[in-house]
Structure 1
Amino acid sequence: MTSAFTPFPSHLSNRILCCYVNTTTQIQKAKILTIPNWLFERVVFPHQRLLFEALPDAFLEIHSCAAAGEALLGKIPCFHLQVSERSLVMAGSSILHDDLQTDSME
């Protein structure tokens, strides 16, 4: 599996910050193919959060990854994945809380 990233085109000013979470136990590949002159392809491990910039009208494709090849699981409008600064702060504090609990259990 490969991960590819090219810088987001600087002339596109209406970009939004998005977050996708792989809630499965399988490795997935996330792709955005709907923005001209831009390639976005990332491997997303189980339970991993993926933060990325996109255009509101772009679509994030989610593919399953298996030995037999890839299969398209679905397309998600990026505006559905848009996050705000407040949601990032809340997510960050829950991650920190989870890490603290894990550390105290060891």
Structure 2
Amino acid sequence: MVYILSLLASGSPTQTSPPMLCYHINNTCDTQNIRVMSEAMCHFERIVFAGERILFEALPDSYLEIYSSRLEGTRMSRVACRLLRVNDEPGE
């Protein structure tokens, strides 16, 4: 299942760049809690189940925090959203 989140449509008063479309897939066997963060704020937080895909809008300076819980504890990864950007330009 693919979810598309467009939570930045109204924009931010300090926003200087347009949001970009990004993509994440949970290719683990675990449920993940993801957060799209920027310097000043958390834009949104969602649960992503194993095998689930999600499209979301993020500002260029944002990053995705991915939390996975296991028996040995919670693991957190951080990825720059610019690395998750969907290539919507033909030929790129």
TM-score (norm 2): 0.70
Q: 1:74 to 1:84 in 2, by over 3 A?
A: same
The 3-state SS of whatever aligns with 1:39 is: strand
Name the counterpart of 2:7. Answer: 7
Give the length in aligned residue pairs: 82
Instruction: Report which of the two structures shows the higher radius of gyration computed on alpha carbons.
Output: 1
Query: Whole-Å Cα distance in 2 between the matches of residues 27 and 72 of structure 1?
Result: 12
SS across alignment from 1:61? strand
2:40 to 36, 45, 55: 36
- Aligned residue identity for 2:11: S
With a CA cutoff of 8 Å and minimum separation of 6, indicate the structure with the bigger relative contact order: 2
Distance in 1 (alpha carbons) for counterparts of 2:56 and 2:45: 11
* TM superposition outliers: structure 1 runs of 4+ over 2 Å: 35-39, 65-69, 84-87
* Higher-strand-fraction structure: 2
**Does residue 1:47 correspond to 2:47, yes or no?**
no
Q: Among residues 41, 62, 67, which one is paired with 1:63 in the alignment? A: 67
Cα displacement (A) at 1:86: 6.7
> Once the 2 structures are TM-superposed, how far is the Cα of residue 27 of structure 1 from its aligned partner?
0.2
2:81 is the counterpart of 1:73: no
Structure 2 residue corresponding to 1:84, chosen from 78, 82, 87:
87
Quote the offset at 1:29 in angstroms: 0.6
